[in-house]
């Protein structure tokens, strides 16, 4: 009798532990479905040859569209969503459009998308809050999701733009690579930067990779792997001289878009002249800035009076060298930007979000990408195709 009671208790515990708990308007509690291999809404096959596409003034060849279709298949082969529901699609550059609800300033900044390199990519979207549809199958409760992206020539979502000096012809940016910076991550971000041995994981050790903490580029943290031939990114550092030359060029433009009073604008011009004189001896040195200094406006120069910290000062309130990293302002090399339009990527960005790193579905996704996705095969496919000629993609065992 005693054994029967114990067995009954164990059975009751097992049933309770695997009960799917649904909350109205929220969806199933994440941990109550964490052990279920929910899988994909659709597994994509692409039985017909890819076709070229035109979006805005950009044309994407059938080869490029074929690449992203292939990437979706490889991603789905490498990862089975557990505790979440996956979907996939491919995308290209966003075409800048005028928005009637946006400010003049917002619309002007939006035109900088024209200067981004030619991009085509694939993404998988993992819905975490789920419900059951009429057929009893899992379906998204809302649009909250984690993402895994692979994109050719990706830049927008791994960089912080310096919008004041950018234009529809040139995109200036900062790459927040704390891993490569001498000051590294802040203590609060160090554990996440090596989550599940990401920092020196054997499958990505050969490629540039780093962690972007939350709120740096967007709300969610990102894990980023960048592949390039010979590991050389086709970016170049701009000098302090080029920075101020661009500021002087853009000053009248921003005054026409988001004007300040005439007297205030004259103060901005005067302070810009002072800064140019101050940095004359450093004109050819790299322009290094803190991420917090990239949000430049006309008032940045209105307030740039003598005695105040300016854009290239990296000191704390006591005048000592700040512990906050300053990164070089970059732009894509002109030749590389043109080559991005060809049928071979100049670099490949593989990135995924970890907005809920304490939840098992997100941990499973992170581990699957690191341990099962065949980074080496993908690298060779795009940069050394002769090495994998005749060999199909296979996830790592």
In a shared domain, residues 271 and 221:
no
In a shared domain, residues 160 and 180:
yes
Residue 15 — pLDDT band, cuts 50, 70, 90? very low
| Overall average pLDDT of the 86-111 stretch | 94
Are 289 and 326 in contact by the 8 Å Cβ rule? The answer is: yes
In a shared domain, residues 129 and 46:
yes
Parent domain of 273: 239-328
- Asked, for residue 196, whether it belongs to a domain, the answer is yes
Tally of domains in the chain:
2
In a shared domain, residues 112 and 256:
no
Average of per-residue pLDDT values in the chain: 93
Does 113 have pLDDT greater than 50? yes
Does 1 have pLDDT greater than 80? no
In a shared domain, residues 230 and 243:
no
Tell which of 278, 300, 328 closes a domain: 328
What pLDDT is recorded for position 318? 67
Residue 14 — pLDDT band, cuts 50, 70, 90? very low
Residue 16 — pLDDT band, cuts 50, 70, 90? very low
- Asked, for residue 230, whether it belongs to a domain, the answer is yes
What pLDDT is recorded for position 25? 87
pLDDT, tens digit, 9 for 90 and up, residues 204-240: 999 999 999 999 999 999 999 999 998 899 999 999 9
Distances (CA, A) of 205 to 83, 195, 228: 29, 14, 13
pLDDT, tens digit, 9 for 90 and up, residues 324-370: 899 999 999 999 999 999 999 999 999 999 999 999 999 999 999 99
The length of the chain is 397
| Overall average pLDDT of the 89-94 stretch | 96
Distances (CA, A) of 4 to 12, 18, 73: 12, 21, 50
Are 147 and 301 in contact by the 8 Å Cβ rule? The answer is: no
In a shared domain, residues 175 and 309:
no
In a shared domain, residues 297 and 265:
yes
Query: Taking the mean position of all CA atoms in its chain, how far away is CA 292?
Result: 18
In a shared domain, residues 231 and 290:
no
| Overall average pLDDT of the 152-166 stretch | 97
What pLDDT is recorded for position 307? 81
What pLDDT is recorded for position 316? 66
- Asked, for residue 146, whether it belongs to a domain, the answer is yes
pTM value is 0.92
Does 13 have pLDDT greater than 50? no
In a shared domain, residues 152 and 193:
yes
What pLDDT is recorded for position 309? 79
pLDDT, tens digit, 9 for 90 and up, residues 26-73: 999 999 999 999 999 999 999 999 999 999 999 999 999 999 999 999
In a shared domain, residues 285 and 218:
no
- Asked, for residue 4, whether it belongs to a domain, the answer is no
- Asked, for residue 107, whether it belongs to a domain, the answer is yes
- Asked, for residue 355, whether it belongs to a domain, the answer is yes
In a shared domain, residues 31 and 70:
yes
In a shared domain, residues 29 and 143:
yes
Are 374 and 396 in contact by the 8 Å Cβ rule? The answer is: yes
């Amino acid at each position: 009798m005693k054994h029967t009671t114990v067995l009954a208790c164990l059975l009751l515990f097992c049933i309770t532990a695997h009960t799917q708990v649904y909350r109205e308007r929220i969806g199933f509690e994440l941990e109550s479905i964490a052990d279920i291999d929910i899988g994909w809404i659709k597994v994509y096959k692409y039985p017909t040859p890819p076709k070229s596409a035109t979006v805005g003034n950009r044309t994407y060849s059938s080869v490029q569209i074929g690449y992203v279709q292939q990437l979706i298949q490889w991603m789905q082969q490498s990862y089975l969503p557990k505790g979440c529901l996956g979907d996939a699609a491919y995308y290209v550059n966003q075409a800048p459009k005028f928005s009637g609800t946006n400010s003049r300033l917002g619309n002007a900044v939006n035109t900088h998308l024209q200067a981004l390199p030619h991009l085509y990519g694939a993404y998988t979207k993992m819905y975490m809050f789920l419900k059951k549809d009429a057929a009893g199958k899992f379906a998204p409760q809302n649009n909250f999701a984690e993402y895994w992206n692979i994109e050719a020539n990706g830049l927008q979502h791994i960089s912080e733009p310096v919008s004041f000096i950018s234009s529809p012809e040139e995109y200036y940016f900062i790459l927040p690579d704390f891993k490569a910076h001498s000051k590294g991550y802040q203590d609060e971000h160090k554990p996440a930067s090596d989550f599940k041995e990401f920092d020196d994981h054997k499958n990505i050790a050969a490629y540039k990779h780093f962690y972007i903490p939350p709120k740096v580029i967007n709300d969610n943290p990102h894990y980023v792997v960048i592949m390039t031939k010979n590991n050389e990114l086709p970016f170049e550092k701009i000098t302090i001289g080029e920075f101020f030359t661009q500021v002087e060029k853009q000053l009248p433009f921003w005054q026409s878009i988001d004007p300040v009073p005439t007297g205030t604008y004259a103060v901005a011009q005067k302070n810009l002249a002072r800064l140019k004189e101050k940095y004359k001896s450093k004109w050819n040195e790299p322009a290094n800035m803190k991420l917090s200094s990239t949000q430049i406006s006309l008032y940045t120069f209105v307030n740039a009076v003598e005695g105040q910290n300016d854009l290239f000062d990296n000191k704390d309130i006591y005048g000592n060298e700040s512990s906050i990293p300053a990164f070089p302002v970059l732009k894509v090399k002109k030749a590389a930007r043109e080559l991005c339009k060809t049928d071979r990527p100049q670099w490949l960005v593989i990135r995924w979000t970890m907005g809920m790193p304490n939840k098992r579905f997100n941990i499973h996704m992170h581990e699957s990408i690191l341990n099962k996705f065949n980074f080496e095969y993908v690298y060779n496919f795009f940069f050394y195709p002769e090495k994998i000629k005749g060999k199909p993609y296979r996830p790592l065992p």
